[in-house]
């Protein structure tokens, strides 16, 4: 069959093919986390969050460059003149008006994790604290580790925790608990599983002593007039993505790896959920 290259590409792809150099450049910021955002030996970034974002950019007509940064630097780097999007931004009431919330990616139960024989009040950890589902009693915690720049640090300080220790990575924060440098860490069941497996930590004695809330992690960009048009295009593309074969392929590739972490994994309305999340209202209001 004879045909012009451009026509054949259009015919077999089911639509117009846009040259990469004609696409709008965009920067994707991502904080390294096993399975979600991983830097390969050749420097290439991969993982569920990165490939999910790339798929949205492709649908919306953008050519991304991916930059891995520690989370605290990532947040600061978003405030620049170029078009910048980030993954892994927790949606909180304090941040609500600061970002365009392009797409919810994951939902995860967060809480306080500590060595099983650690005492909140100086004795044996009681069933009451293991089952606590509010922030009441946070002020009785000793030292708590969090990721530097993460919103959980503000939650702890707002609830009277006097010794909040910030680390440059979650691996450092979890290691600090295991080595007794801090008494607990404010994280999530999946996060603990990911970090312990990737770092080779023995976390059998690390247990959740408080359950705080459900955290929705988003792909987001700063809410500025310059970003508004881009945010609308990306949000529309994200809504389209979850009904495509490409999204099914992403789930097929990455869900089995997440299931190996030992936590319950589901997909609800295009959002990967971890642990016991039963409140459908959370999704209606996300």
Give 206-241 pLDDT, tens digit per residue: 999 888 989 999 999 999 999 999 999 999 999 999
* Range with top average pLDDT, 16-20, 78-82, 131-135, 182-186: 182-186
Mean per-residue pLDDT, 44-49: 96
What's the confidence (pLDDT) of residue 73?
Answer: 92
Give the span between the Cα atoms of 217 and 160, in whole angstroms: 25
What's the confidence (pLDDT) of residue 59?
Answer: 97
What's the confidence (pLDDT) of residue 182?
Answer: 95
Q: What residues have CB less than 8 Å from 224, skipping those under 6 apart?
A: none
Kindly report the backbone phi and psi dihedral angles of residue 37, in degrees, each rounded to the nearest multiple of 5, phi listed first.
Answer: -150, 100
**pLDDT for 118 beyond 80:** no
Closest CA to 36 of 210, 172, 211, 188: 188
**pLDDT for 58 beyond 70:** yes
Q: What percent of the chain has pLDDT over 90?
A: 66
Tokens of 29: 């910021």
What's the confidence (pLDDT) of residue 117?
Answer: 57
**pLDDT for 90 beyond 60:** yes
Lowest-pLDDT range of 84-93, 114-123, 179-188, 205-214: 114-123
Give the span between the Cα atoms of 220 and 234, in whole angstroms: 10
Average pLDDT of the chain is 85
Query: pLDDT tens digits for 184-199?
Result: 999 998 899 999 998 9
**Which string of DSSP letters, residue by residue, matches 171-216?**
HHHHHHHHTTSSSEEEEEHHHHHHHHHHHT---TTEEEEEEEEEEE
What's the confidence (pLDDT) of residue 81?
Answer: 64
**pLDDT for 263 beyond 50:** yes
In this predicted model, which residue has the larger pLDDT, 22 or 257? 257
Within 13 Å, how many C-alpha atoms sit on residue 185's CB side? Answer: 29
Lowest-pLDDT range of 5-14, 17-26, 201-210, 255-264: 5-14
Give the span between the Cα atoms of 233 and 83, in whole angstroms: 13
Q: What residues have CB less than 8 Å from 276, skipping those under 6 apart?
A: 109, 264
Tokens of 161: 């925790």
Mean per-residue pLDDT, 20-35: 89
Q: Going by DSSP bridges, is the β-strand pair 143-147/184-188 parallel, antiparallel, or unpaired?
A: parallel
What's the confidence (pLDDT) of residue 276?
Answer: 66
Mean per-residue pLDDT, 145-174: 94
pLDDT confidence of 128, banded at 50, 70, 90?
Answer: very low
What's the confidence (pLDDT) of residue 131?
Answer: 45
Query: pLDDT tens digits for 248-259?
Result: 999 999 999 999
């Amino acid at each position: 069959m004879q045909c012009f290259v451009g026509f054949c590409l259009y015919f077999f792809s089911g639509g117009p093919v846009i040259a990469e150099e004609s696409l709008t450049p965009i920067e994707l910021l991502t904080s390294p986390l096993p399975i979600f955002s991983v830097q390969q030996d050749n420097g290439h970034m991969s993982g569920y969050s990165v490939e999910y974002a790339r798929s949205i950019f492709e649908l919306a007509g953008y050519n991304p460059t991916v930059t891995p940064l520690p989370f605290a630097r990532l947040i600061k780097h978003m405030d620049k003149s170029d078009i910048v999007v980030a993954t892994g931004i927790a949606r909180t009431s304090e941040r609500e008006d600061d970002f365009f919330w392009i797409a919810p990616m994951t939902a995860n139960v967060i809480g306080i994790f500590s060595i099983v024989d650690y005492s909140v009040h100086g004795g044996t950890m009681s069933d009451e604290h293991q089952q606590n589902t509010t922030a009441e009693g946070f002020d009785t915690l000793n030292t708590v580790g969090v990721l530097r720049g993460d919103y959980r640090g503000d939650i702890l300080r707002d609830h009277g925790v006097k010794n909040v220790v910030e680390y440059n990575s979650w691996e450092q924060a979890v290691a600090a608990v295991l080595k007794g440098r801090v008494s607990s860490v404010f994280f999530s069941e999946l996060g603990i599983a990911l970090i312990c497996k990737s770092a080779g930590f023995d976390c059998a004695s690390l247990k959740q002593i408080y359950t705080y809330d459900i955290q929705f992690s988003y792909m987001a960009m700063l809410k500025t007039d310059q970003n508004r048009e881009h945010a609308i295009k990306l949000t529309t593309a994200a809504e389209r993505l979850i009904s495509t074969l490409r999204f099914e392929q992403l789930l097929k590739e990455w869900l089995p790896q997440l299931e190996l972490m030992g936590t319950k994994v589901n997909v609800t309305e295009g959002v990967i959920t971890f642990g016991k999340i039963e409140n459908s209202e959370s999704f209606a209001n996300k």
